[in-house]
């Protein structure tokens, strides 16, 4: 299938486009900044410009599209809920869907399915009540936003399209989502229940969130609202105890509800509202992480971060691989501001066992870096691992795949920051920003040398 995705550079979107591609689908992305999306997305795909605040998407983006997935929307936890902020949250969701639906109304051949994010916030604060897709909406800021959101989603019924609104719970994953701000205090042993700790948290691992999106796209029997939550919601107290257990840290320091309300205002409802949500219509989806311990164990089991990126070039392998397998060419592909220079290498030929010493600057601070080639397969891949340098751990695998008459460059970087406990979220946010700048420079240079993606 050919699938058009809006909101692909977000936390869930990155996982979703990668899974859809891996399942054999062709992915096209709508994004405000197509160039920067090239280094923020984990896959190589066609990217088309669209800013929902400026109007409708280009109609050519829908050409040959079988399904549309909408994940666009402002981060609800990105700031205090002032009047302006609440309006931004609502408009970013409602307008994006409205513009997509209006664009599809103009098409002679319409997509068969429209899958859009929604949220369990539609149920409001419901105590111990078990909520499923048949439960009525509740009250509150998010409940109102979600009602308006879903009203726009199901305008597609008039177009004869199958529509699915995935009501996501709290999405858990590495380097994003709800855990981003929770992990530092818990790693320091300063975590604990919020308020009474009795409020229910309905959650889903980000990989299962992506899996439910794929199921909604592919399963023609799915229709209407679907609660995108794990089978086992937990109380906040149970969540804190489980997270502390996974991290092997105490989790006994409660945060009184009045302090949260004083500090966060209405935003505190995200932490204190109780929503015990289950799903009765997820198409029999089999969860990778059905219980909280397995989900948190996967996310917190290591300190390494991962950066994935792809770029396709319209050149043959016998031209592309030799260029990247020459260490001296790293100087060409690195921004001048980093003053990157090769000092020495242990052999003339790039191969397993080769050691390369570099000099470079990060934010003006000079570093010495030594890489060790730990894996090498000509015309396929090689991996360099940091032996000495600024990171606690660094491994970069370069893969080369012949595809569509050219070569797909696939980079997988795994790294650990030197101050593990304090690295999330602030330090890692800076490092990720630097990585994206470096890969954006490299992408432009590669396009100059080998041609642009078509």
Answer yes or no: is 183 within a domain: no
Answer yes or no: is 261 within a domain: no
CB-based contact 305:175 (threshold 8 Å): yes
Residues 118 and 226 in one domain: yes
For the CA atoms of the chain, what is the radius of gyration? 23
- Token digits for 236? 């906040």
- Token digits for 153? 């989603």
What total number of domains does the chain contain? 2
Looking at residue 423, what is its pLDDT? Answer: 53
Answer yes or no: is 266 within a domain: no
Mean pLDDT of the chain: 92
Residues 215 and 281 in one domain: yes
Answer yes or no: is 241 within a domain: no
What does DSSP say about strands 176-177 and 170-173: parallel, antiparallel, or unpaired?
Answer: antiparallel
Q: What's the average model confidence in pLDDT over 309-315?
A: 96
Looking at residue 398, what is its pLDDT? Answer: 97
Residues 220 and 368 in one domain: no
Residues 281 and 393 in one domain: no
Residues 284 and 311 in one domain: no
Q: What's the average model confidence in pLDDT over 327-332?
A: 90
- Token digits for 352? 């397993």
Looking at residue 264, what is its pLDDT? Answer: 81
More confident residue, 410 or 183: 410
- Burial (CB < 10 A; 0-12, 13-18, 19+), residue 165, is buried
Residues 368 and 429 in one domain: yes
CATH of residue 26's domain is 3.40.50.720
Residues 146 and 19 in one domain: yes
Q: What's the average model confidence in pLDDT over 221-228?
A: 96
Has residue 421 got a pLDDT over 80?
A: no
Q: What's the average model confidence in pLDDT over 192-202?
A: 95
Q: What's the average model confidence in pLDDT over 100-122?
A: 96
Predicted confidence band of residue 452 (pLDDT cuts 50, 70, 90): confident
0.75 exceeded by the pTM? yes
Predicted confidence band of residue 422 (pLDDT cuts 50, 70, 90): low
Residues 312 and 444 in one domain: yes
Model pLDDT for residues 243-264, shown as the tens digit of each residue? 999 999 998 889 988 888 888 8
- Note down the domain range covering 409: 305-450
CATH of residue 361's domain is 3.30.530.20
Model pLDDT for residues 27-64, shown as the tens digit of each residue? 999 999 999 999 999 999 999 999 998 999 999 999 99
Answer yes or no: is 244 within a domain: no
Residues 285 and 367 in one domain: no
Has residue 96 got a pLDDT over 90?
A: yes
Question: Percentage of residues in the chain with pLDDT exceeding 90?
Answer: 75
Residues 317 and 290 in one domain: no
Residues 320 and 286 in one domain: no
Answer yes or no: is 146 within a domain: yes
Has residue 293 got a pLDDT over 90?
A: yes
Looking at residue 454, what is its pLDDT? Answer: 64
Predicted confidence band of residue 307 (pLDDT cuts 50, 70, 90): very high
Residues 363 and 406 in one domain: yes
Highest mean pLDDT among 77-86, 179-188, 232-241, 420-429: 232-241
């Amino acid at each position: 299938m050919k699938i058009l995705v809006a909101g692909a550079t977000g936390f869930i979107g990155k996982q979703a486009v990668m899974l859809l591609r891996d399942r054999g689908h062709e992915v096209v992305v709508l994004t405000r900044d197509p160039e920067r999306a090239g280094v923020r997305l984990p896959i190589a795909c066609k990217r088309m410009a669209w800013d929902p605040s400026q109007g409708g998407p280009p109609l050519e983006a829908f050409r040959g599209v079988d399904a549309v997935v909408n994940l666009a929307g402002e981060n609800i936890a990105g700031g205090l809920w002032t009047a302006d902020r609440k309006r931004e949250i609502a408009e970013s969701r409602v307008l994006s869907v409205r513009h997509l639906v209006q664009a599809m109304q103009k098409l002679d051949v319409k997509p068969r399915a429209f899958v859009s994010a929604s949220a369990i916030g539609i149920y409001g604060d419901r105590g111990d009540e078990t909520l499923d897709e048949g439960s009525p909406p509740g009250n509150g800021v998010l409940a109102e936003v979600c009602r308006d959101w879903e009203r726009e989603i199901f305008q597609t019924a008039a177009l004869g399209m199958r529509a699915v609104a995935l009501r996501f719970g709290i999405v858990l994953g590495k380097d994003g989502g709800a855990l981003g701000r929770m992990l530092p205090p818990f790693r320091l042993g300063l975590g604990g229940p919020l308020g009474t700790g009795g409020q229910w948290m309905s959650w889903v691992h980000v990989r299962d969130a992506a899996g439910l999106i794929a199921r909604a796209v592919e399963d023609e029997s799915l229709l209407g609202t679907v609660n995108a939550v794990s089978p086992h919601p937990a109380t906040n107290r149970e969540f804190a105890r489980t997270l502390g257990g996974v991290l092997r840290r105490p989790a006994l320091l409660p945060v009184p509800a009045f302090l949260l309300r004083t500090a966060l205002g209405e935003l505190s409802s995200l932490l204190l509202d109780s929503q015990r949500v289950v799903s009765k219509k997820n198409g029999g989806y089999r969860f990778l992480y059905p219980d909280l311990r397995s989900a948190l164990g996967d996310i917190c089991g290591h300190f390494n971060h991962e950066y994935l990126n792809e770029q396709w070039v319209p050149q043959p392998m016998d031209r592309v691989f030799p260029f990247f397998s020459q260490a001296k060419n790293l100087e060409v592909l690195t921004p001048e501001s980093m003053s990157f220079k090769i000092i020495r290498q242990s052999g003339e030929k790039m191969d397993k066992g080769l050691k390369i010493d570099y000099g470079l600057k990060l934010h003006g601070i000079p570093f010495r870096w030594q890489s060790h080639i730990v894996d090498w397969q000509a015309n396929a891949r090689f991996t360099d691992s940091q032996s000495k340098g600024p990171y606690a751990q660094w491994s970069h695998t370069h893969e080369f795949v012949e595809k569509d008459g050219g070569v797909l460059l696939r980079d997988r970087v795994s790294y650990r920051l030197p101050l593990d406990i304090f690295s999330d979220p602030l330090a890692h946010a800076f490092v990720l920003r630097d990585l994206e700048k470096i890969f954006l420079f490299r992408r432009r240079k590669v396009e100059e040398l080998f041609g642009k993606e078509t």
